[in-house]
Amino acid sequence: MLSLPIYIVASVIKIALVILILLTAVAYTVWLERKVVGHMQNRWGPTRVGPFGLLQPLADGIKFLVKEDLTPPHVYRPLFIAAPMIAVVCALTSISVIPFGNAITIFGYSIPLQITDVNTGLLVVLGVTSVGVYGVALAGWSSNNKYSLLGGLRASAQMISYEICLGLSLVGVLIVSGSFSLREIVEAQSGHFWGFLPKWNILYGGQFVAFFVYLMAAYAETNRIPFDLPEAETELVAGYHTEYSAMKFAMFFMAEYANMITVACLATLLFLGGWGGPVFGPPLLQSLLPVFWFVAKVFVFLFIYIWVRGTLPRFRYDQLMAFGWKFLFPLAIANLVLTALIVAYKSSM
Amino acid sequence: MLHLVLFLVFGAICVAGAINLLMQSHPISSALSLVVVMASLAVEYLLLGAEFVAAVQVIVYAGAVMVLFIFVIMLLNAGEEERTKGSHVALILGIPGVLAGGLLIAWTLLQRSNTGSVPLGALPGSPKTIGNLLFHDFLLPFEVTSVLVLIAIMGAVVLAQRAETPNLPPRKET
């Protein structure tokens, strides 16, 4: 048990570190995306700023900061200013309950690699991301622009529809592991099936179906291709953020990529065994390897995100709704019933 | 101590949000005030120790129900409300009515001393307790409620269905 001053100092350091790492990760996910999509489309992507264009995110950041911040005269100012803040605050808050690894020991104090361990951690993430819809919806409305309004409407309808599938796909995992705490869910996945296959939730019963539903719903929740209708460039200029410039636009951009990273972390924790993986070597390596496995799994998930973006065209709006309600939703319910039956059968044996 | 201070602060925010909801003349501002009310109610549940109820409050009310409210307001592009003669009547009759109702509720609660009280942070609100209550002790009321919701959904579908127009060719599903 830590004493109060040390607890506060440790928490502040952890919060600062996590936000720093998250924002760096956001910047370099953008770089990765431009680079990977570039190579997939047979071009180079950013190359000029630094080796392999590695300093490009930095240059972009400076550009966002020094550009003129335009506010069109016809907008509803209070909400126009508040909307990007809501989006970015919700995106950054949801990372606070994500654990990155086991507890590490520094100067004799055992410190968990997580800002706060709430025993309903998963619900906190879902709650905070569901509030994030307001950022997009209000941005669309307060811009007082038809394209923005259409983008905002599409975003709120799409996010509510796919939130249900997202939630239902996670219930199967919750039934299997019997806890809302992300840490306990990961710990329930340690060990192996038949001695060699890692005991990840994705390999348990029908959970790969749940993983598929989660993947689709997560793409839709984060407004990514093939579900990027709220900002469809070819029809809506830029959708809900048409009227935004400079740092306010950058906030939406940051929120989108931070949400992507949160979704990837959640997928890793719930389906891919979190920080579980082979651990060996000297004590220092042993304490760092779990974090490495965690980051590697998140990276793979993000790479698939980008890969899908470079491959698929955009859905039409009616296809989007039909896909969500008539295909994903029944699939998620079927998986839920099946998982419940399997778990009940196993516990009755 | 900290719990009590936070409880009172968020209680005050909740009431202020509710009053602002009535005072604002623009539907979007009113709806956003209602979001504030919902969110501060969630914090109150959290402080009482009901984490699960707090999370569900945010996910369902702030995250889904109120988003739909705002969606509809945006879709209809509802403008500012205008004061009519009826609003004066509502003002004159409404405020004494609310006061009388509040006093009645408070008086009834104070008369019945056996209602009991819960110390802060001690409400049995873990997911397991709630699950047991819902799916064991109150199974029948729970299932009846779900049927009620189903009926409401079917009613909405029937009401929303457009009359068939025989002249137009049926839309092609692709």
Looking at per-residue pLDDT, the higher value among B115 and A338 belongs to A338
Question: Which residue out of B33, B58, B77, B130 would a mutagenesis test of the A interface target, given it has the greatest number of A Cβ atoms within 10 Å?
Answer: B58
Nearest to A255 by CA among A148, A95, A146: A95
C-alpha distance from A76 to closest chain B C-alpha (Å): 11
Chain A CB contacts of B35 below 8 Å? 134
Q: What's the rounded Cα separation, in Å, for the pair A49 and A27?
A: 14
Domain contains A190: yes
In DSSP notation, A22-35 reads: HHHHHHHHHHHHHH
pLDDT in tens, B81-109: 777 777 777 778 888 888 999 899 888 88
C-alpha distance from B60 to closest chain A C-alpha (Å): 8
Tokens of A64: 């966002």
Chain A CB contacts of B59 below 8 Å? 123, 126-127, 130, 167
A293 neighbors A200 (Cβ within 8 angstroms): no
Q: What are the φ and ψ backbone dihedral angles of A179, each rounded to 5 degrees?
A: -155, 155
Domain contains A210: yes
Chain B CB contacts of A131 below 8 Å? 39, 58, 62-63
B59 neighbors A123 (Cβ within 8 angstroms): yes
Q: What's the rounded Cα separation, in Å, for the pair A36 and A309?
A: 10
Q: What are the φ and ψ backbone dihedral angles of A64, each rounded to 5 degrees?
A: -60, -40
Question: Which residue out of A97, A134, A240 would a mutagenesis test of the B interface target, given it has the greatest number of B Cβ atoms within 10 Å?
Answer: A134
Question: Which residue out of B32, B74, B132 would a mutagenesis test of the A interface target, given it has the greatest number of A Cβ atoms within 10 Å?
Answer: B74
Position A65 pLDDT exceeds 80: yes
Domain contains A12: no
pLDDT in tens, A142-169: 888 888 888 888 888 888 888 888 888 8
Chain B CB contacts of A134 below 8 Å? 35, 67, 70
Upstream peptide bond of A283 is cis (omega within 30 degrees of 0): no
* Residue of A123, A137, A160 with shortest CB distance to B74: A137
- Determine the structural domain holding residue A127 and report its residue range: 70-102+113-348
- Residue A284 to residues A310, A343, B25: CA-CA distances in angstroms? 39, 38, 62
Question: Which residue out of A80, A131, A184 would a mutagenesis test of the B interface target, given it has the greatest number of B Cβ atoms within 10 Å?
Answer: A131
* Residue of A79, A149, A156 with shortest CB distance to B67: A156
Domain contains A85: yes
Among all chains, which residue has been given the structure tokens 């919902």?
B38
**Tally of domains within chain A:** 1
A85 neighbors A254 (Cβ within 8 angstroms): no
**B74 vs A152: CB contact, 8 Å cut-off?**
yes
Number of H helices and number of E strands within chain B? Answer: 7, 0
- Model confidence at B154, in pLDDT bands (50, 70, 90)? very high
Read off the amino acid at residue B22.
Answer: L
Please indicate, yes or no, whether the overall pTM of this predicted structure exceeds 0.90.
no
B31 neighbors B68 (Cβ within 8 angstroms): no
pLDDT in tens, B30-75: 888 998 999 899 888 888 877 888 888 888 888 888 888 888 888 8
pLDDT in tens, A26-46: 888 888 888 888 888 888 888
Among all chains, which residue has been given the structure tokens 């900061």?
A65
Give pLDDT, residue B123. Answer: 65
**A163 vs B64: CB contact, 8 Å cut-off?**
yes
- Model confidence at A288, in pLDDT bands (50, 70, 90)? confident
Position B149 pLDDT exceeds 90: yes
Instruction: Classify residue A158 as exposed, middle or buried by CB count within 10 Å of its CB (0-12, 13-18, 19+).
Output: buried
A275 neighbors A291 (Cβ within 8 angstroms): yes
Q: Does B52 contact A at CB distance below 8 Å?
A: yes
A86 neighbors A138 (Cβ within 8 angstroms): yes
Quick check: ipTM above 0.85?
no
Polymer length in residues for chain A: 349
Domain contains A28: no
Q: Does A250 contact B at CB distance below 8 Å?
A: no
Q: What's the rounded Cα separation, in Å, for the pair A193 and A175?
A: 18
Q: Identify the bridge partners of residue A109 per DSSP, sorted by sequence position.
A: A106
Residue B113 is classified by DSSP as: G
**B51 vs A157: CB contact, 8 Å cut-off?**
no
Among all chains, which residue has been given the structure tokens 């909801």?
B21
Domain contains A15: no
**B70 vs A127: CB contact, 8 Å cut-off?**
no
Residue A230 is classified by DSSP as: G
Q: What's the rounded Cα separation, in Å, for the pair A90 and A221?
A: 13
Domain contains A204: yes
- Model confidence at A188, in pLDDT bands (50, 70, 90)? confident
In B, minimum Cα distance to A123 occurs at B55
Nearest to B35 by CA among A17, A79, A35, A46: A79
In B, minimum Cα distance to A149 occurs at B74
- Residue A233 to residues A41, A105, A146: CA-CA distances in angstroms? 18, 49, 14
pLDDT in tens, A236-266: 777 788 888 888 888 888 888 888 888 888 8
The vertex-B14 CA angle with B10 and B20, nearest 5°, equals 140
**A118 vs B51: CB contact, 8 Å cut-off?**
yes
Residue A332 is classified by DSSP as: H
Q: Does A123 contact B at CB distance below 8 Å?
A: yes
Give pLDDT, residue A285. Answer: 74
Q: Could you say which residues from 157 to 216 on chain A have a Cβ atom under 8 Å away from some Cβ of chain B?
A: 157, 159-160, 163, 167, 180
* Residue of B52, B64, B174 with shortest CB distance to A130: B64
